[in-house]
Structure 1
Amino acid sequence: MTHWTILLAVETAEAAAKEGGLFDFDATLPLMAIQFLLLIVVLNAVFYKPLGKAIDERAQYIRSNILQAKERLEKSDKLAKQYEQELGETRRKAQATIAAAQADAQKIAASKMAEAQQEAQVQREQAAQEIESQKQAAMQTLEQEVDALSRQILEKLLGPELVK
């Protein structure tokens, strides 16, 4: 059977060689060229132009998204810097407020301490005056008692008529 297939192929090749070989330059060549050009025109109109248009639209969409993303990134960077500046300023104000409050607290504490010291001094002075007055009173009482005792002693020693 393989013989027969080879024989058939050889006969077909001989028939083709008699007709003009591999390329015939008769009316079929221009017809094939026209068919090829029509195929190119149809493929271009049906396939390549819509595909190219879709690719161009997609590229434009990507470019616009990239530009929008860059703009948003720049805007977010600006906002982040602004917020950082505001945060730093707020921190500085808070620290200044805290420092002022601490200074006020120290002033108040110092004034309270001074008032307490003055009050303690006044109380010490009052206590010293009281002690002095009690001392004076005790001394007077003691002097009176000493006078009375010394009179009694003198009266007993000398007699009541001589003491006056």
Structure 2
Amino acid sequence: MFGFITRLAVIVSIPVISLTRKANAGVVQTAVSQYPQELIFALCGVMMFAGALASIVTPDPEGVKPTKPMAKLIYSFFGSVSALTYLVFCEKDLSLVHALWVGGVSFVSPVAIPSLKALVFELMPIAMQTLKSFISKWIGQSKGNGNG
């Protein structure tokens, strides 16, 4: 039954979209020409939502601890907001490619953020130990040179 309804919706949607497109052609053209930045900003919001939804539905890769859907949503939101903030304040221009980039960041953030967190917390003790050994070796050599 679901398959039938889906196929029926696809068959009926093509003429409806065509008629709607012809009826609203002037309105859409006017809106695109007068408000291009606002429409791209709205498209960024849609892509944020689509990327977050795709990241929640997509299973976690192997080797990465599974993330809860709510955490994925939060990671997606903050990743895409940071990408949009970067675009607005650093690039100072929006295009259709930027909207796709915001959606991509929203999709990738739930996997990238925990991986970066694990990388930092695994490498931090190693880096601290290396720094301590370097400093102790350096201080030890300077004391040895002063006495001799």
TM-score, normalized by length of structure 2? Answer: 0.29
Using the size of structure 1 for normalisation, the TM-score is 0.27
Work out which of the two has the higher radius of gyration on C-alpha atoms and give 1 or 2.
Answer: 1
